[in-house]
Amino acid sequence: MEYNITRKERDCIIALHDNFSFPLRLFNIAETLKIKAPTAHELIKRLESKHIIEKKNGIISLTDYGNAVYNDIIMAHRTLEIMLTNSGVNSDMACQQIEKIDYLMDEVSIQKLFKSMGKPQTCPHGKPVVPK
């Protein structure tokens, strides 16, 4: 599925999911993404309009749809990361490079690549390719 998101929106989705141990507010997003509060505010508004996040009492969280977007990004990231490392690229360098494109990949292509690679269970960093 194509989500039509920007790199900063991708980074925000990842931050919201990966920082689930405490509720995030606008200033946390700005701090985490190293952007100014007004920029974070616009980012949050865009993600809200796409139904990826919701705000309740100042707390920002992913919607069910947002979690699905996160899962697709992560699967794309880890599948492409495996492909690059299998080609001889250092795993950390592969991770950095894949962050630039993982959110642009369509689900059908990633599924085909994943199957052609034998449905690997973990990425080079030991994380599950298919998020739970």
> What pTM was computed for the model?
0.91
Q: Is the pLDDT of residue 1 over 70?
A: no
At 63-116, the pLDDT tens digits run 999 999 999 999 999 999 999 999 999 999 999 999 999 999 999 999 999 999
User: Cα 116 vs. chain centroid, distance in angstroms?
Assistant: 23
Residue 89, classed as helix, strand or coil, is coil
At 123-132, the pLDDT tens digits run 999 999 998 7
Q: Counting beta carbons within 10 angstroms of the beta carbon of residue 123, is it exposed (0 to 12), middle (13 to 18) or buried (19 or more)?
A: buried
